[in-house]
């Protein structure tokens, strides 16, 4: 059964790790409500191929042989349900000796990630942050991010070229309601744009400093790399994968079911 740690326990100082016990952890923010997905359970708890989306995400990262710890950041009112579902869907043998810890999240993704970081053991030196909403990320993408961080990059983000032309819009006209025409102010050069995914990988100290210095008002940062960029730290992109898409709206769930069905037909899992 995954341990649950209180925030006090998670904050307790722990014995420093020796260099040869340095390990990789993945924090999985899974505390969102899934408003854009429509009415229902919190998004991470919704079924995908008959298995909770969160379980797919945990398995996807735990398959990476270097991942030693997974910290699941559960909805505040869903921690018990998350622990139960993780018990009911144990990691495959291929996950090796991966530890799983469940903590409770906050009102923003940024706060949830920060709470996940608080649960890391001192022997963790590389941290990935992976959205539970990206349940089908291939293990190769996870391992490529870990490898790039371990090769010395302080911050590594998987990304894909943008396939739609993107427009920057200006502020809405006074009194404009939802759906009102928006003024276009720029069309960024598409060849210089990338759509970023997760898992985003970091040197632990860099990510901890970024969260410690991040403003906490409002909705918070939409991704962790943005917080690291604010430190002036170089962030590099590595190739993402189209199957690492985020399940946000109902049609994304249809696509995810189709991708999973194709995998089960061809790969048997």
Ligand X SMILES: C[C@](O)(CO)[C@H](O)COP(=O)(O)O
Ligand Y SMILES: Nc1ccn([C@@H]2O[C@H](COP(=O)(O)OP(=O)(O)OP(=O)(O)O)[C@@H](O)[C@H]2O)c(=O)n1
The token pair that represents 158 in the structure block: 């998987």
Residues 159, 240: contact at Cβ < 8 Å?
yes
Q: Give the containing element (helix H, strand E) for 146.
A: helix 139-150
CB of 174 vs ligand X, minimal distance in Å: 27
The tally of CA atoms less than 13 A away on the side-chain side of residue 175 is 0
State which of residues 109, 156, 227, 244 lies at the interface with ligand Y (CB under 6 A): 109
By CB under 6 A, the residues from 35 to 74 that bind ligand Y are 35-37, 43-44, 73
3-class SS of residue 119: coil
CB 74, min distance to ligand Y, A: 8
Read out DSSP for 149-162? Answer: HHTT-SEEEEEEE-
State the nearest-atom distance from the C-beta of 38 to ligand X, in Å: 15
196 interacts with, out of ligand Y, ligand X, none, CB within 5 to 8 A per kind: ligand X
- Does residue number 132 form part of the binding site for ligand Y (CB under 6 A)? yes
Binding residue count for ligand Y, defined by CB under 6 A: 23
Strand partners, 169: 184
Which of the stretches 51-59, 140-148, 183-191, 192-200 binds ligand X when contact is defined by CB under 6 A?
A: 192-200
As to burial, measured by CB atoms within 10 angstroms (0-12 exposed, 13-18 middle, 19+ buried), residue 162 is middle
The residue (of 83 and 130) whose beta carbon lies closer to ligand X is 130
DSSP reduced 3-state for 94: helix
Chain residues in the site for ligand X (CB under 6 A): 109, 131, 133, 196-198, 222-223, 246, 248
Chain residues in the site for ligand Y (CB under 6 A): 29-37, 43-44, 73, 105-109, 112, 131-133, 246, 248
């Amino acid at each position: 059964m995954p341990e649950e740690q209180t925030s006090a326990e998670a904050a307790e100082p722990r014995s420093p790790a020796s260099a040869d016990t340095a390990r990789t952890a993945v924090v999985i923010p899974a505390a969102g409500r899934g408003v854009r997905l429509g009415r229902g359970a919190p998004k991470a708890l919704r079924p995908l191929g008959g298995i909770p989306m969160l379980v797919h995400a945990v398995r996807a990262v735990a398959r990476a042989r270097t991942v030693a710890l997974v910290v699941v950041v559960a909805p505040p009112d869903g921690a018990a349900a998350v622990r139960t579902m993780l018990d009911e869907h144990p990691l495959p043998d291929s996950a090796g000796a991966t530890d799983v810890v469940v903590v409770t999240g906050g009102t923003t993704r940024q706060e949830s990630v920060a709470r996940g970081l608080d649960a890391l053991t001192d022997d963790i030196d590389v941290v990935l942050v992976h959205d539970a909403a990206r349940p089908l990320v291939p293990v190769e993408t996870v391992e490529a991010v870990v490898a790039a961080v371990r090769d010395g990059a302080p911050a590594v983000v998987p990304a894909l070229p943008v396939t739609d032309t993107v427009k920057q819009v200006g502020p809405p006209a006074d009194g404009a309601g939802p759906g009102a025409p928006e003024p276009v102010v720029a069309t960024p050069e598409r060849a210089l744009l990338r759509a970023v995914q997760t898992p985003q990988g970091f040197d632990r100290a860099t990510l901890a400093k970024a969260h410690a210095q991040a403003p906490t008002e409002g909705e918070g940062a939409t991704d962790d790399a943005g917080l690291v960029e604010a430190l002036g730290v170089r962030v590099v992109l590595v190739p993402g994968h189209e199957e690492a898409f985020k399940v946000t709206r109902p049609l994304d769930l249809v696509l995810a079911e189709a991708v999973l069905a194709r995998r089960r037909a061809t790969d048997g899992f």
